[in-house]
Structure 1
Amino acid sequence: MSERTIWITGASSGIGAALAREWAERGTRIVLSGRDEARLREVADGLDTETLILPFDVRDEAAMRAATQEAIGWRGVDIFVANAGISQRSAAVDTAMQVYRDIIDIDLTSQIAATQALLPHLVERGSGRLVFISSIAGKVGVPMRTAYCAAKFGLIGYADALRAELSQSGIDVHVVCPGSVATNVSRNALNADGSPRGTSDKAIDNGISADEAARRIIDAIELNSREIIVAEGMEEAMGELRRTPDQLFDQVAAMVASGYMEKMKAEV
């Protein structure tokens, strides 16, 4: 672990900051990214490990690509955690279309763009891990979160397809589906008009602590679990009900191993 470098987006608070703390305790180097440089520095100051701060807005593709090259040049990247995101609390009938565009851009399109920018580095090395922080709401449609669900479902689809493509490359892909974790996710969620909600939910406030969620996530990654559900009670039951069977992951990976991609390319 001491030789690994972990790059985490959305690292200034919540699950991202907790993952940084837990991985730092396990001896890894940490790259922290997010929009707020001051808050990233606060997180870095609490880590007893070598750190690099790369602040940028995930929607700024030019800044993201520059940060990618800086992270690669610093120590390389062994594990990339696509954690940046924003939630929603509004009924679909009331929600402005711009809210859908903003949430899908932040939670899905920008995560794909960041992964695509880093992917050649990992493929060239022939090793690494990609970790996508989705949600139970990426497995089960949840009321008042239509935009958020659309983005998080999409993130899982991208990750699952990417995992199959990379199954012969030495790169592992993990999907994390947290339920209620005690963070500011509800407080920062968007209302129907795109304004910040500003208040939290009781379920979130009473949820799993961010530090406990981080421990569970990292333990599961170390066990090479491909789909990681971090939830309790009804949320855990819903996630398990919609869990993708490992046999299906293996079946799709076997298609790649048998030359499926080469055959598809040859038909073009």
Structure 2
Amino acid sequence: MPDVALVTGASRGIGRAIAVRLAKSGYDLALVARSEGPLRETAALVEGFGRRALTAAADITRRGDVEAVRATVLDAFGHVDVLVNNAGYASRPQPFAEWDPDDWWQVIETNLRGPALMCRALLPEMLARRGGYIININSLQGSRVSGAGSAYGVSKAGLMRLTDAVADEVRGSGVTLFDLSPGLVRTEMTSGRPDLDALPESAWSPPEAAAEKVAQLLSGRYDALHGRFVHLTDDLDDLLGRIAGDARLLRMQPPADPAPENDKTA
């Protein structure tokens, strides 16, 4: 039976790159996003590698939509081996005192409630089979003061704590979780950054690099990093070696003030 991966935010950018990379690795794909048209484009790329692709237009912040996705995917595939919570939202940065409360909360709901609902929907089936992976696409913005981007930083800090909590609960169950920061990638979401013109080309990472990191994390070689926050630039073998030497590093979070060369996350 082929492995199955579900990727949210799969209609473009990082999500599409991850879906295509997993199709190359032999996964069938469940593709979730709000817009059906772009999802079909991703599905065509997946099918080009001879893999099955199911598309589901849904709002992951709505419990009913998530439950419908779960039912549809499990009916079609029978199981989900990998959940990649990639869907995200970042509104225009502005001082907190000037922020529209509904817009601020929409960022929190997309980046935290959405992944929480998706995890809650698919985790029981993974636990019953004693196997599976959940990768939450995160950001270094969750580990430092984010200034006028407070909603995004708060949402990603919350996502870190969600990954921590669930990873601790399921430790030893066969289900493995990771936080992955993909670096700064040119996407629709990052196109509104106020510092866009000031960023050098070297600051950007291609979406395919994040997709390759996902494939590495799913190889099984790095399961000892369960619960860890991993950045695109991290050497996973080096992390394994450091953890082997000091188990206290297992749940080490990203530094509050990361080095400039690693400070690439949107």
How high is the TM-score relative to the length of structure 1? 0.79
The separation in 1 between residues aligned to 2:183 and 2:111, in whole angstroms, is 16
User: Quick one: which of 226, 229, 233 aligns to 1:227?
Assistant: 229
The separation in 2 between residues aligned to 1:146 and 1:117, in whole angstroms, is 28
Greater alpha carbon shift after TM alignment, 178-187 vs 217-226: 217-226
Percentage identity across aligned positions? 24
Secondary structure in structure 2 of the residue aligned to 1:182: coil
Going from structure 1 to structure 2, the CA distance change for 1:120 and 1:220 (only over 3 Å counts) comes to: closer
Superposition pairs for residues 170-249 of structure 1, below 5 Å? Answer: 170-187=174-191, 197=192, 201-202=196-197, 203=199, 207-222=204-219, 223-224=222-223, 225=225, 226-231=228-233, 247-249=248-250
Going from structure 1 to structure 2, the CA distance change for 1:139 and 1:46 (only over 3 Å counts) comes to: same
Query: Is the contact made by 1:180 and 1:231 (CA closer than 8 Å) also made in structure 2?
Result: no
User: Quick one: which of 78, 100, 104 aligns to 1:100?
Assistant: 104
Instruction: Determine the structure 2 residue equivalent to 1:26.
Output: 25
The separation in 2 between residues aligned to 1:204 and 1:122, in whole angstroms, is 42
Secondary structure in structure 1 of the residue aligned to 2:159: helix
Instruction: Determine the structure 2 residue equivalent to 1:116.
Output: 120
The separation in 2 between residues aligned to 1:136 and 1:204, in whole angstroms, is 19
Greater alpha carbon shift after TM alignment, 201-210 vs 115-124: 201-210
Going from structure 1 to structure 2, the CA distance change for 1:69 and 1:204 (only over 3 Å counts) comes to: farther
Instruction: Determine the structure 2 residue equivalent to 1:134.
Output: 138
Displacement of 1:26 after TM fit? 1.1
Instruction: Determine the structure 2 residue equivalent to 1:193.
Output: none
Secondary structure in structure 2 of the residue aligned to 1:18: helix
Secondary structure in structure 1 of the residue aligned to 2:135: strand
Spell out, residue by residue over 1:218-237, the C-alpha distance to the aligned partner (whole angstroms, 9 max, x if none). 213423343320159xxx9x
Secondary structure in structure 2 of the residue aligned to 1:180: coil
The separation in 2 between residues aligned to 1:178 and 1:142, in whole angstroms, is 17
User: Quick one: which of 84, 91, 102 aligns to 1:81?
Assistant: 84
Query: Is the contact made by 1:184 and 1:200 (CA closer than 8 Å) also made in structure 2?
Result: no
Instruction: Determine the structure 2 residue equivalent to 1:68.
Output: 70
Instruction: Determine the structure 2 residue equivalent to 1:260.
Output: none
The separation in 1 between residues aligned to 2:230 and 2:205, in whole angstroms, is 15
Instruction: Tell me the number of residue pairs that the alignment of Structure 1 and Structure 2 aligns.
Output: 232
Query: Is the contact made by 1:138 and 1:177 (CA closer than 8 Å) also made in structure 2?
Result: no
Instruction: Determine the structure 2 residue equivalent to 1:37.
Output: 36
Question: Superposition RMSD on alpha carbons, in Å?
Answer: 2.6
The separation in 2 between residues aligned to 1:19 and 1:170, in whole angstroms, is 23
Amino acid at match of 1:13: R
Amino acid at match of 1:228: V
> Unpaired runs of 5+ in structure 1?
188-196, 252-268
How high is the TM-score relative to the length of structure 2? 0.79
Greater alpha carbon shift after TM alignment, 205-214 vs 127-136: 205-214
The separation in 1 between residues aligned to 2:72 and 2:115, in whole angstroms, is 18
> Unpaired runs of 5+ in structure 2?
253-266
The separation in 1 between residues aligned to 2:54 and 2:200, in whole angstroms, is 30
